[in-house]
């Protein structure tokens, strides 16, 4: 079994993450999967409004409370009565791993439809035109998944990877004629202490890996040294999205903050 990696992150300034829009998201080049995200392979856009952020957080809170209640009604009450920011303070009294299985981290169709009403998806439409969200796991609806990362728990974050690697490993077919891009949104974040790190320009590089199933998690063992790479941590506040190329190397950082870090993500399929 692989040891958990200990990646080094560099902290970026806001201007290190260009604001993407319809005009620059493909740098004026052909709207291909490879060209999305410009030179760096990522960027940001307008944040969720405060009321939208609160609404999305309330949807996730209800979802994790439902997950906990399905295991034990008392666990459900405990999670329901604790803010998502303080989730880690009750996590050792409930079955955390079972609650956050891959299936447990995928939102229901109704929750996805509610989140799709936020201004974030106006931004997505402006940038990509007609689009759908992917359903590579085959749940039967457009997927939005989420993650809770407890303070100082290395197991709660994954391995440096390109999202395309999951599709390669699982033999998920890309729907005919579709191209992919990714969006990640921190909902509870402490900039500089946790959040998403991305490797600039990595989408154009060749990075080989070996995949290994470790427990219920897929580990990617790089055939390169991640210490040779600059992993830039997104400095944006809660509610501000990161859009990135499907071939950009990225990873969540171990949470060095005091609150549970909460994020959501989805794959955009565009024409
Ligand atoms: Fe990823």
Distance, CA of 42 to CA of 7 (rounded, Å) = 20
Per-residue pLDDT tens over the stretch 219-247: 899 999 999 999 999 999 999 999 999 99
User: Ligand 1 centroid vs 137 CA: distance in angstroms?
Assistant: 14
Band (pLDDT 50/70/90 cuts) for residue 1 is very low
User: Ligand 1 centroid vs 149 CA: distance in angstroms?
Assistant: 14
Given a contact cutoff of 8 angstroms between Cβ atoms, the answer to whether 240 and 47 are in contact is yes
Band (pLDDT 50/70/90 cuts) for residue 3 is low
Cα-Cα-Cα-Cα dihedral of 157, 85, 96, 168, to 10°?
-30
Distance, CA of 163 to CA of 268 (rounded, Å) = 12
Per-residue pLDDT tens over the stretch 67-86: 999 999 999 999 999 999 99
| Percent of the chain clearing pLDDT 90 (strictly above) | 90
Per-residue pLDDT tens over the stretch 29-69: 999 999 999 999 999 999 999 999 999 999 999 999 999 99
Per-residue pLDDT tens over the stretch 11-34: 888 789 999 999 999 999 999 999
User: Ligand 1 centroid vs 49 CA: distance in angstroms?
Assistant: 25
Band (pLDDT 50/70/90 cuts) for residue 217 is confident
Domains and CATH numbers, the chain: 40-270 (2.60.120.620)
Mean pLDDT taken over the chain: 95
User: Ligand 1 centroid vs 161 CA: distance in angstroms?
Assistant: 6
Query: Cα-atom radius of gyration of the chain, to the nearest Å?
Result: 18
Residue 198 has pLDDT above 70, yes or no: yes
* 1-10, 20-29, 96-105, 167-176: least confidently modelled range: 1-10
Q: Is 50 exposed, middle or buried (0-12, 13-18, 19+ CB in 10 A)?
A: exposed
Does the predicted TM-score (pTM) go above 0.85?
yes
Instruction: Give pLDDT, residue 13.
Output: 82
User: Ligand 1 centroid vs 69 CA: distance in angstroms?
Assistant: 28
User: Ligand 1 centroid vs 17 CA: distance in angstroms?
Assistant: 18
User: Ligand 1 centroid vs 114 CA: distance in angstroms?
Assistant: 23
Average pLDDT over residues 151-159: 92
User: Ligand 1 centroid vs 183 CA: distance in angstroms?
Assistant: 10
């Amino acid at each position: 079994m692989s040891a958990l990696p200990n990646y080094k992150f560099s902290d970026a300034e806001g201007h290190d993450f260009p604001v993407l829009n319809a005009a620059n998201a493909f740098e004026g080049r052909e709207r291909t999967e490879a060209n999305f995200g410009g030179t760096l392979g990522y960027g940001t856009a307008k944040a969720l409004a405060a009321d939208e952020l609160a609404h999305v957080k309330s949807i996730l809170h209800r979802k994790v409370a439902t997950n906990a209640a399905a295991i034990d009604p008392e666990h459900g009450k405990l999670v329901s009565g604790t803010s998502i920011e303080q989730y880690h303070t009750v996590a050792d009294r409930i079955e955390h791993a079972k609650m956050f299985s891959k299936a447990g981290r995928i939102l229901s169709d109704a929750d996805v439809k509610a989140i799709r009403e936020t201004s974030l998806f106006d931004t997505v439409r402006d940038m990509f035109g007609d689009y759908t969200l992917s359903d590579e796991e085959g749940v039967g609806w457009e997927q939005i998944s989420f993650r809770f990362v407890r303070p100082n728990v290395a197991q709660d974050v994954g391995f440096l990877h390109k999202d395309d690697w999951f599709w390669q490993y699982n033999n998920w077919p890309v729907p005919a004629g579709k191209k992919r891009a990714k969006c990640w949104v921190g909902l509870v974040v402490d900039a500089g202490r946790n959040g998403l790190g991305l490797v600039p320009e990595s989408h154009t590089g060749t990075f080989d890996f070996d995949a290994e199933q470790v427990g219920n998690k897929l580990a990617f063992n790089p055939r390169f040294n991640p210490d040779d790479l600059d992993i830039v941590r997104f400095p944006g506040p809660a509610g501000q999205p990161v859009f990135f190329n499907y071939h950009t190397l990225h990873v969540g950082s171990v949470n060095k903050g005091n609150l549970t870090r909460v994020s959501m993500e989805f794959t955009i399929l565009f024409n």
